[in-house]
């Protein structure tokens, strides 16, 4: 084959590669814009007047930016109190759920005992139970012990296992760690607890970050649990606070969609910050924990 023909083949391959890569970028950008549009619309609506939000035809850019919507949202329904309650719930459930799930996952991954696999399968089977199935027994239990209308029903259960999905993800990650690390620590005289804290824990940061992000997002956005267990406005979390905009903010007959959008933006900012701060660990945890495609 001549040098000219070889050069032509290389040019064709190069042009085909560039065309394919360009098409991939175009599709990716189009999908990104499609998924970002609802958030952009939410931000835009949060800066409009009540009339502009419901105007037809709709417009993406507000005529006059209404920064006061955020101040009114924060002050009219005690949004700061709701934000504080959500922060308390999220921090405590994140610490309790992640810690307990990590300990349980370590037991399933490193210990050998009778019926271990059966117990693990039973644990995983709880993921198919919808929360509506267990909410009535939980409500009765919390009523009997006097925990209703407090943050305890939203916090305390997370300290008992952290959830089947978290246990599964952490177990899968721990299984990828060489058992020789444990054996080397045992030779040096380390106990099981010391191995867990000094060997397994430092190497499990990606999986722990993944579990922490999932826990944060779930408990931050949880509406069903607070709706069942909380009655007093001073105990409301952000989802219930946003819902209360329909009845408590300003004139009851006045549309409050712009305030609802402003509250939604405020509630979304912590999730975005947490994801970007822990993005590297999150992606690494997904890839190395057996959840990749």
For residue 31, what are the CA distances in angstroms to 20, 25, 60, 127? 17, 10, 19, 31
pLDDT at 119: 92
Tokens of 228: 């069942």
Q: Is pLDDT at 88 greater than 90 in this prediction? A: yes
Per-residue pLDDT at 190: 84
For residue 7, what pLDDT is reported? 52
Which position has the token pair 């009219």?
76
pTM of the predicted model as reported, rounded to 2 decimal places: 0.81
Closest CA to 69 of 272, 265, 268, 271: 265
Distance, CA of 108 to CA of 102 (rounded, Å) = 10
**Per-residue pLDDT, 95:** 92
Q: What percent of the chain has pLDDT over 70?
A: 86
Residue 291: pLDDT band with limits 50, 70, 90: very low
In this predicted model, which residue has the larger pLDDT, 62 or 284?
Answer: 62
- Name the phi and psi angles at 248, rounded to 5: -115, -25
Q: Model confidence over 13-47: pLDDT tens digits?
A: 666 667 777 788 888 888 888 888 888 888 888 88
Report the pLDDT value the prediction gives residue 56, as an integer from 0 to 100.
79
93, pLDDT greater than 90 = yes
Segment 200-216 shows an average pLDDT of 88
Mean pLDDT is highest, among 63-67, 85-89, 124-128, 282-286, for 85-89
Judge whether residue 289 has pLDDT over 60: no
User: Per residue in 222-272, pLDDT tens?
Assistant: 999 999 999 888 899 999 888 877 765 455 556 678 888 888 899 888 888
What pLDDT is stored for residue 49 in this prediction? 84
Segment 147-162 shows an average pLDDT of 91
Name the pLDDT band for 292 (thresholds 50, 70, 90): very low
Q: Supply the pLDDT for residue 5.
A: 53
Peptide bond between residue 57 and the one before it cis (omega within 30 degrees of 0): yes
d(CA 138, CA 125): 19
Of residues 282 and 116, more confidently modeled? 116
């Amino acid at each position: 084959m001549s040098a000219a023909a070889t050069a032509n083949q290389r040019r064709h391959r190069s042009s085909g590669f560039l065309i394919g890569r360009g098409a991939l970028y175009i599709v990716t950008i189009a999908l990104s814009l499609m998924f970002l549009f609802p958030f952009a619309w939410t931000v835009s609506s949060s800066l409009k007047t009540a009339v502009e939000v419901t105007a037809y035809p709709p417009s993406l850019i507000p005529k006059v930016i209404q920064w006061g919507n955020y101040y009114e949202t924060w002050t009219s329904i005690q949004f700061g109190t709701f934000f504080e309650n959500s922060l308390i719930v999220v921090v405590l459930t994140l610490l309790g759920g992640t810690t307990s799930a990590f300990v349980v996952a370590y037991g399933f991954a490193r210990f050998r005992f009778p019926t271990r696999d059966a117990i693990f399968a039973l644990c995983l089977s709880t993921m198919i139970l919808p929360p509506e199935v267990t909410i009535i027994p939980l409500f009765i239990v919390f009523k009997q012990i006097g925990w209703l209308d407090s943050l305890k029903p939203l916090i305390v259960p997370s300290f008992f296992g952290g959830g089947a999905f978290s246990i599964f993800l952490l177990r899968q990650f721990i299984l990828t760690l060489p058992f020789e690390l444990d054996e080397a620590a045992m030779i040096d005289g380390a106990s099981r607890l010391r191995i867990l804290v000094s060997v397994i824990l430092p190497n499990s940061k990606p999986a722990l970050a993944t579990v922490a992000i999932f826990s944060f997002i779930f408990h931050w956005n949880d509406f069903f649990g607070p709706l069942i267990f909380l009655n007093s406005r001073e105990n409301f979390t952000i989802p219930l606070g946003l819902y209360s905009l329909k009845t408590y903010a300003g004139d009851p007959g006045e549309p409050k969609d712009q305030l609802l959008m402003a509250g939604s933006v405020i509630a979304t900012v912590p999730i975005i910050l947490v994801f970007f701060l822990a993005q590297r660990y999150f992606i690494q945890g997904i890839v190395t924990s057996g959840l990749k495609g």
